[in-house]
Amino acid sequence: MPYVKPPLNIEHQADLLLKRGLVGTKADVMARLEAVNYYRLSGYLYPFRQPDNNLFPGTQLDLVWRRYCFDRRLRILIFDAIERIEVAVRTQVVRHFVMAHGPFGHLELRNLPGFKKGKRFTHWKKNLKRLFALKGLEGTEHERWLAKLKTEKTRSQEEFVKHFDTTYGAHHEQLPLWMACELMTCGTLLQLISAMEPALVKQAAAHFGFPDQQFFSWTKALFSLRNACAHHARVWNRVFGVKPSVPGKNKNPDWHLAPGFALDRLGLQLTVCHFWLGKITSTSRWRKRLFDLFADYPEVPLIPMGLPPGWHTHPLWK
């Protein structure tokens, strides 16, 4: 059906929330709505909603706002952890690839067998339809990936890109992979990993002590979480579609000890971050900062995060 809801000004939005049972002064509600739009704030009101869309009696604006502040600080912590993990992943993946195929080996399709070659007739037929629709030609999967690298290079204002173009640009349209990786989005990096020879992915994964399937699963899940944080999305009670795999029980029994972590909730991803950071550095204080954050907001329920009672004493968190 068509969407016919009219826009409401801040005053009317505040009146609506107060009418539905939010406890607070109108001035305070309006001040919060000036900083955070109604739709974003409603995500934090959702756990307090009744079936008729009114709020449970006694729902305090200050309590809802503390949930919002907790989630914002949590996203910053997560982003900090994933930054270190992402840099380490880029380093290992690119190092093993260029040692095997050289700085421009990614330009050759034979070095990235995971990219679909496509049948020549099917590709020609698809492009003929695109031409008739005035959409232009579409390259192969590898060509489209290289086009992304070129676009990222063109947009960049990094000094190393300018220097490379000035010095080597007449001979090289694309950057060597160890430079290009610094400009890659997480999605572009994931495409590289999935297209690489399995033996090279295994070597990169082995640096962290992971099997290759676990390495790719965790990278994909954390990159998805990173994107949610980068777009300021709510993560505290989010249900995740992209879930990290749990290591096998025989070689990794700690991952199967009670209390367990829900597969589609944030708690498992926090556990993965903590565990992976331990493989990268022995001096990380991320665990303490996370525990300090929880201590600052003791009223925030942890079950919606997939963190069961006693989770902080789990062997994986010691």
Task: Report how far residue 88's alpha carbon sits from residue 100's, in angstroms, rounded to the nearest whole number.
Answer: 19
- What per-residue confidence (pLDDT) applies to 121? 46
β-partners of residue 55 are 49
Which phi-psi region, left, alpha or beta, contains residue 158 (left: φ > 0; alpha: ψ -120 to 50)? beta
Predicted TM-score (pTM) of the model is 0.90
- What per-residue confidence (pLDDT) applies to 136? 52
- Dump pLDDT digits (tens) for 147-163: 999 999 999 999 999 99
- Dump pLDDT digits (tens) for 35-63: 999 999 999 999 999 999 999 999 999 99
User: Residue 147's closest CA among 111, 119, 114, 107?
Assistant: 107
CB crowding 250-280: b at 16 or more within 10 Å, else e: eeeeebeeeeebbeebbbbbbbbbbbbbeeb
Asked, for residue 47, whether it belongs to a domain, the answer is no
- Dump pLDDT digits (tens) for 108-125: 999 999 998 755 445 555
- Going by the DSSP 8-state scheme, the letter that residue 110 receives in this structure is G
Asked, for residue 181, whether it belongs to a domain, the answer is yes
Asked, for residue 305, whether it belongs to a domain, the answer is yes
- Number of domains observed in the structure of the chain: 1
- What per-residue confidence (pLDDT) applies to 117? 73
Asked, for residue 54, whether it belongs to a domain, the answer is no
Asked, for residue 220, whether it belongs to a domain, the answer is yes
- Dump pLDDT digits (tens) for 237-289: 999 999 999 999 999 999 999 988 999 999 999 999 999 999 999 999 999 99
Q: Is the dihedral of CA 150, 154, 156, 157 positive or negative?
A: positive
For 84, the domain range is 69-115+176-317
